[in-house]
Structure 1
Amino acid sequence: MGVKEILEEINKVVENLNYKNSINFIEELERLEEGGDKMSKKYTGRPRKYETPEQMQEIINEYFNECLEEGKYPTVSMLAYRLDLTRQDLLRYEGEIEAERFKNCSDEMRESFRYTVKKAKQYIEGQYEDRLINDGRSPIGTIFTLKNNYNWVDKQEIEQTNKTIEITLED
């Protein structure tokens, strides 16, 4: 069985697989057919959900517009859901730019992904802050979210001074 026949068999199987992963696999097989010696390992781990930051931004914009139309406040968890990511995966797009899923990206694209998520979270944080100030309801949930998602802290400054006291004992 030649490479072409194998490719035809693979095409039948990969119809049920993730399209992007299938295309990458087929491209590697075609590269082998053209004389490549080994399949190159681009990266390991879960592949990115989005090929470009613009694809991600499009879904973010849809979610934010929907929230505005419905009078709802956006949340990080719901944003992750809309992007078909877990909350932790979304945070990884922002923070772990060196993660395996970005190994085949240019530095510019890595920074674009990071910036896209950072700006989305910044917008959500601004919405929470607005809610904290302008909403007449109890702020407890908003404060909880700001502390846990945006590193807000209740800060108390305690000034401590050491005083030296001399005691002289006489018999």
Structure 2
Amino acid sequence: MNPKISDFGMARSFGGNQMQANTTRVVGTYGYMPPEYAIDGIFSTKSDVYSFGVLVIEIISGKKNRSFVHPDHSLNLLGHAWTSYKEDKLSGLVDEAISESCNHAEVFRVIQIGLLCVQQHPADRPSMSHVVLMLSSNIALPHPKQPGFFMERTFHDPDSSSNQLTITVLEPR
């Protein structure tokens, strides 16, 4: 868990006043890629905002986005954070290592900022300069919309009989 904000796998750099671009091959670190890039190859100045939001939620929760497992549901970390936010249960998202010594109001504010960064649509995400402003001041925060890649996963059960192997023998006529 030593990501670098400038190193989220973006193989191309922006030229001049370019605000977004398309790539022919998607490269990057799964779990940090925004949906528009992972699905359509479109990246913009909001792509790193998404990655930053994932990182913020990982730091506060002490969990990795890609390997998150919860005993009560099959949501990924972003889905768990979103559900916790909607149900006003953010204290369960905070890592036990910091829970006792932190200012919960500040941590909940940072979670909300992280959720603003990972919203599904790039236009809904704040710019990084606005993220810095939100983190360094007490300005009112909008309510985030559903994150990109908010999903429930189905894990493979090795004991399941639904994954049986069949063999077909082909014989010439």
Normalised by the shorter chain, which TM-score bucket? under 0.3
TM-score, with structure 1 as normaliser: 0.27
Structure exhibiting the larger radius of gyration computed from Cα positions: 1
**Normalising to structure 2: TM-score of the pair?**
0.27
> Which has more helix, going by share of residues?
1
The structure with higher relative contact order (CA 8 Å, sep 6+) is: 2
